Amino acid sequence: MSRHTATWLAWSLATLSLLLCVAAIGLYLATLPVVLQTPSSWDTGGLSAVLYVFLPFLAFPLVGALVASRRPHNPIGWLCLAVGIFWMLAIMSGSYAMYGLQVANPGTVPFPAAIGSLGEELAPATGGLIGTYLLLLFPNGRLSSRRWRPLAWLSGAVIVSIIVGGVLTPGRLQDLGRVRNPFGLEEYPWIADAAQGIMLLLPLCILASAVSLVLRFLRSGGEEREQIKWLAFAALILGLGFSSFVIPGILAPEATRGANTLWENLLEDAVTLSFAGIPVAVGIAILRYRLYDIDVIINRALVYGLLTAMLILCYFGAVVFLQAAFRSLTGQESTLAVVASTLVIAALFNPLRRRIQSFIDRRFYRRKYDARKTLEAFSAKLRDETDLQALNGELTRVVRETMQPAHVSLWLRPEPPPRRSEGSS
């Protein structure tokens, strides 16, 4: 495929994703009154679903078109395009089915239940593409070795089986509870159990794909290692956010049910938006990673993430403590507690940031931290040292500790002989 053809095809597929997104938003808004009365499984409450369900996944086709047009032989770009199209088809088909069955007059919208049934199975297929093939093929579009070919074939078979099994499962549709699956084979109820068993294989394929990426990272170096860091960083943020949202509900469902609804909604929206970090990291890693130092970004994320968490804890702790003190002294609360807590946070910002930065450097960037300290000490000694031989040995030691070369040698230009004046004989 020529570069011109690849560019035309990539941006045509991205345009198709945008058109599907516009159609899905229009159908969703048309069914919004019904959705608010009978929430569907993907509704997040009103118009905010348009932002938090559609927009993050628009990054996949846009980044995919950009990568595919510039690197047409790398399947990562085409994979991102497929993810975007599948997701938009899944959302649009669900809105189409709800509109045809619950809003429009009966018979005016063709095949709403059939299209809704097909769309329900595209969402897990989309997750399977991201979790398996993106990890297996990143960053150069090839498997790390032939040993991973069985996993690639198994992942494809599992994704196809999930779609086929879900379409043929008898019973009521998940998002349209009162409508039975028009493709369901009612005389074969065991299909539902088989589909559930196949669904359990998908997390195992995703885990094995993640292991392949980790092994590729350990064996790689230079450019490929830096590219993998970008994807790993975005996946880590998504995984931490998802874990913080899901694990408390699994460990203590009764304690978390109905508690702090606003915080839960904000966290859920943040996790959904973090899906956009995956394609953005992929695009940067493949196209422009040299312009950005991923280690610096990870370092700053660790520092300011910890700093934000500690400042929030200090702020609320100070407010609670001072309000309790005011209540015990005056019998009522005072706004001075908020003002004083704000001043304390402002005073703590820089000292706490420096301490956290030093801790992160020592704990996670020990070699760079030691090198920086060594160079700082050498710079201070350079200002005071006058003995050339001592300076020679010190410079050699610093180079060995910081750069760790195989050999070190220092060449000093000899001083030129003094020039004789014209009047001397």
Question: pLDDT tens digit string along 360-393?
Answer: 776 655 555 555 666 566 666 666 666 666 666 6
Are residues 177 and 284 both part of a single domain? yes
* pLDDT on residue 418: 65
| Residue entry with tokens 């028009």 | 182
Residues facing residue 180 across a β-bridge? 172
Find the range with the poorest average confidence among 126-140, 196-210, 300-314.
Answer: 300-314
Are residues 323 and 265 both part of a single domain? no
Are residues 336 and 390 both part of a single domain? no
In a domain, 278, yes or no: yes
Cα separation, 410 vs 391, whole angstroms: 11
In a domain, 93, yes or no: yes
Give the residue from 241, 258, 292 where a domain finishes: 292
In a domain, 411, yes or no: no
Report residue 39's pLDDT band, with 50, 70 and 90 as the boundaries: very low
Are residues 229 and 333 both part of a single domain? no
Domain that holds residue 386: 370-403
Are residues 140 and 119 both part of a single domain? yes
In a domain, 299, yes or no: no
CA-CA-CA-CA dihedral for 54, 243, 238, 232, to nearest 10: -150
* pLDDT on residue 46: 46
Are residues 263 and 399 both part of a single domain? no
In a domain, 270, yes or no: yes
Are residues 23 and 73 both part of a single domain? yes
More reliable by pLDDT, 394 or 338 = 338
Are residues 32 and 98 both part of a single domain? yes
Question: Of 312, 413, 307, whose CA–CA distance to 357 is shortest?
Answer: 307
Angle among Cα 244, 273, 365 to the nearest 5 degrees reads 60
Q: Where are the alpha helices (DSSP H) in 31-148?
A: 32-37, 48-49, 55-70, 75-98, 112-120, 122-128, 134-137
Number of neighbouring beta carbons within 10 Å of residue 111: 13
Give the residue from 292, 321, 341 where a domain finishes: 292
pLDDT of 401 strictly over 60: no
Are residues 287 and 310 both part of a single domain? no
Q: Are 87 and 126 in contact (CB under 8 A)?
A: yes
In a domain, 199, yes or no: yes
Question: Of 234, 259, 278, 304, whose CA–CA distance to 56 is shortest?
Answer: 278
Report residue 41's pLDDT band, with 50, 70 and 90 as the boundaries: very low
215 three-class SS: helix
Tokens of residue 330, six digits = 């005056």
Q: How many domains does the chain have?
A: 3
pLDDT of 257 strictly over 60: no
Are residues 280 and 347 both part of a single domain? no
More reliable by pLDDT, 15 or 34 = 15
Are residues 323 and 178 both part of a single domain? no
Are residues 56 and 187 both part of a single domain? yes
